[in-house]
Amino acid sequence: MTQSRVKPRSTQRLTDRLIRRMGPWGMFLKGFVKHPVMVGSIIPSSPALIANMLSPVQWHEVKLFVEYGPGVGTFCRPLLEKLPGDATLIAIDTNPDFIDYLREDIRDSRFIPVLGSAADVEAIVKAHGFDHADYVLSGLPFSTLPAGVGPAIAAATHRVLRKDGAFLVYQFRARARDFLAAHFERIDNGFEWWNVPPCFLFWGWKD
C-alpha cells in the first residue's frame, strides 16, 4: 500500500524536475500535453514569425497591449522590449501552469499575467484600469476551440479595441480568418514560412 502511494509521487517529482531543467520548452510541452486544444503547437513561435506578426504595430501609440495564450512568454519578451515605458502588457491564459511560470520568470512592472478566458477580455481590461486596448495578439487555435468560444472571443476583442486598433492573429489554418471577418471589415493577410509549422497571419483593423 505504502509503495503504491509513494511511487506516483516520486514519479511526479522526477517529471517536474525534468520539466524545470528543460526551461521554457519543458513548460510548453507540459502545457501542450495537458491542454492540446488550447495550445496551438508543441513548438514555440519562431523569431521570424514574431517579427512579421508585430511589424504593423505603432509602438509609440501603445498604452495597452493584450495577448491571448502567452504560453511560456515567447511573444511577451519581445513585446516588453518594444513597449514604451508607460505601457502595459496583459497576458491572458486559461492554463494556471503557464501563468505561474510567467509570474516567476518575467519580472517587469509593465507585465500583468492573468488567469482567465480571452472571452472575458473586456472585464479583465477594465479591472486593470483601462477602457480599451490598442492591440490584441492571439495564437489561440480558433478552429479547434469548443463551439461558440472562437466567435465569442472575436466579438469581445472587437469591442475592447480602440478605433484604429488591431487584432493580430497567427494560425495554422486559413479558416480562422472567418472568425475575424464577422467583426472586422478590413483584414490584412500574410504567411510565415520560417516557423514550425508555417502559419497564416491576419491583422484585423477596427475602423
State the pLDDT at residue 7.
44
Q: SS3 sequence, 147-158?
A: CCHHHHHHHHHH
Give the chain's count of helices (H) and strands (E).
8, 7
Contact 184, 158 (CB under 8 A): yes
Beta bridge partners of residue 136, listed in sequence order:
66, 167
Helix 24-34 vs helix 96-105: crossing angle, to nearest 10: 170
Low-confidence stretches of the chain (pLDDT beneath 70): 1-42
Other CB atoms within a 10 A radius of the CB of residue 102 amount to 21
Domains of the chain: 35-205 (3.40.50.150)
Instruction: Please tell me the distance from the alpha carbon of residue 71 to that of residue 73, in angstroms, as a whole number.
Output: 6
Q: How many CA atoms, within 13 angstroms, populate the side-chain half-sphere of residue 45? A: 32
Residues with Cβ within 8 Å of 81's Cβ and at least 6 positions away in sequence, in order, are none
Q: How open is the CA angle 186-116-123, to the nearest 5 degrees? A: 65
Cβ atoms of residues 153 and 118 within 8 Å: yes
Strand 133-138, strand 161-171: pairing? parallel
Predicted structure pTM score: 0.84
Other CB atoms within 10 A of residue 56 CB: 13
pLDDT tens, residue by residue, 22-66: 455 555 555 555 555 445 455 788 999 999 999 999 999 999 999
Q: Identify the H or E element spanning 95.
A: none
36: how many CB neighbours lie within 10 A of its CB?
A: 12
For the record, the C-alpha cell of 207 comes out as 475602423
